[in-house]
Structure 1
Amino acid sequence: MKERTRRVWEIFSIYLPILLMGLLALGTYWLVRNAPKPAEPPQQRAVSHEPDYFMRDFSIKTFDAKGRLQSELKGDTLKHFMDTETLEVEQARMRSINLESRVTRATANKALSNADGSEVQLFGNAIVTREEFRKAGAKPVPQMQFRGEFLHVWPNEERVKSNQPVTLSRGADKFVGDAMDFDNMTQILNMRGNVKGTLSPSPAAAQRKRG
């Protein structure tokens, strides 16, 4: 009896590691099957072209580090669209002041601006005016004004462009064209289409003519 028990124990001892490995494999399989599945990343909701905030009868001003007024934006309503990072302003009225204290104003029935205001589109009765500027010891720079149903403005680059009819006035001079591209940095004006212009004589020339 003892001999038989010893032989059974020897056989059991030989197969015990195999049984343990089998149990371990079964246990691992069971854990894999029953372990909670990793959470699936939440599906991002499609961003629609809807305003995420708006303002009414507002006024926004920006100042430089010294507290000097740089720009002001007013309007009846302002809407911000997150999908395009744009601002839409109804009855927009804008004013900016450069380092030389020269003032530029703009008005339109509607304005569409990118997030940092470096690109602005003006729709409906759009007017951009650079006011007359007088600098000590220099000749005054006459007022310059652009009028049209659409004006595309890059304030930082001092550019105004339009693919629609525009009227440009500089002092008493006036030009009209079917399209326009003006770069104040390079002082280059390009008017296209049916272009017409009226040039007024300078005050000195007019004085000489009267004399």
Structure 2
Amino acid sequence: MLRPAADGRRPLRGAAGPAPGHAGRHAMSSTPLAPPPTSRRRLPQPWLWQVQRLLSNYLPLLLMAFLAAGTWWLVKNTPLLDGPGDKPAPRHIPDYRMNNFEIQRIGADGKLQVQVAGDELRHYPDTDTVEIDNARVRAIAPNGSLAIAEAKRAVSNGDGSDLQLMGDVRLRRLPPGSGPDAPAELEVRGEFMQALANAEILRSHLPVTIRQGNSTLQTQNFEYRHLSGELRFTGRAQGRIDTRPGAR
């Protein structure tokens, strides 16, 4: 049952049913907000629509940051120092490193599009993967919106189609013309986040916290499908929806 709080915020608690593709998983239950057969968690639509809208704008920026930054191209096209001859079988040892690096991609108009930085970048030839310690990524949309992704560790496959962020993951979308320290329009935090470029999916199997304005949602997992605009989560969820006039 939803009851408005004295300060105009509305507490949100409940249980969500399993999303498609998660058969066999059991979610924690609490008092249902509506009688069966409704099984999927439903939020007040206006706020949920705002989150979906911001995510729909955010995900392309995030994918652009890692697919178009040039990191993978740089690693793959670095000249090899070894001469011709038989090469030994690859081992899980980096064949390329960059320390305290920063890579920028500049658009045809001379403006910064993407910036990728980190303490160390490593490429492993046996698995064709790239790892970045303390990864920091900034992507700027044509309208000036800024997307920032930060994590203790980032791992990507060779073509950048499967990116995983691990450890104190923080994703932020900032309004046009703002700096990196400005209040975020949307923030997603957790310990793990995966971006699948080909399917245009952003997801986590671990708990995440989503903040938009003064509203907060905490879920046991998270999946956003950009192609369909769907935001899904299963298990127990709770949050606060700010219903005061002027609240985002």
Is the TM-score greater than 0.5? yes
Answer whether contact 2:201 2:225 (CA < 8 A) is retained.
yes
- Kept in 2, the 8 Å contact 1:133–1:143? The answer is no
Deviation at 1:62, TM superposition (A): 1.4
Matched, 1:81 2:162: no
Mapping of residues 98-137 of structure 1, within 5 Å? 98-133=141-176
The alignment partner of 2:95 has SS state of strand
Q: Whose helix fraction is larger, Structure 1's or Structure 2's?
A: 1
Aligned pair 1:152/2:191, yes or no?
Answer: no
My pick for the range that moved more, 155-164 or 176-185, is 155-164
Residue 196 of structure 1 and its aligned partner are, at CA, apart by 1.1
Percent pairwise identity: 33
Aligned amino acid, residue 216 of structure 2: K
Listed one character per residue, the Cα deviations across residues 30-82 of structure 1 (whole Å, up to 9, x for unaligned) are xxxxxxxxxxxx87632112110101111011123333322111111110112
Aligned counterpart, 1:175: 217
Task: Give the count of matched residue pairs.
Answer: 158
- For 2:117, give the aligned amino acid: K
Cα distance, 1:74–1:205 mapped onto 2, change above 3 Å: closer
Alpha-carbon distance in structure 2 between the residues aligned to 1:157 and 1:100:
24
1:61 corresponds to which residue?
104
Aligned counterparts of 2:106 and 2:128: Cα–Cα separation in 1 = 22
Post-superposition shift, 1:99? 2.8
2:108 alignment partner, SS class: coil
Between Structure 1 and Structure 2, whose CA radius of gyration is higher? 1
Task: Tell me by how many angstroms 1:155 deviates.
Answer: 6.3
Instruction: Say if 1:116 and 1:125 are closer, same or farther in 2 by CA, change over 3 A.
Output: same
Please give the alpha-carbon distance, in whole angstroms, between the structure 1 residues aligned to 2:192 and 2:229: 21
| Residue 231 of structure 2: aligned partner | 189
* Aligned counterpart in structure 1 of residue 240 of structure 2, from 186, 195, 198: 198
Match of 2:17 in 1: none
Task: Return closer, same or farther for 1:155/1:130 CA change in 2, 3 Å cut-off.
Answer: farther
Deviation string 1:91-132 (CA, Å, 9 cap, x unpaired) is: 111111123322110111111123344432111101111113
Paired with 1:164 and 1:205, the residues of 2 have a C-alpha distance of: 28
Counterpart amino acid of 1:104?
A
Structure 1 unpaired stretches of 5+:
1-41, 135-141, 207-211
TM-score calculated relative to the size of structure 2: 0.57
Tell me the TM-score normalised to structure 1 length.
0.66
CA RMSD of aligned residues (A): 2.6
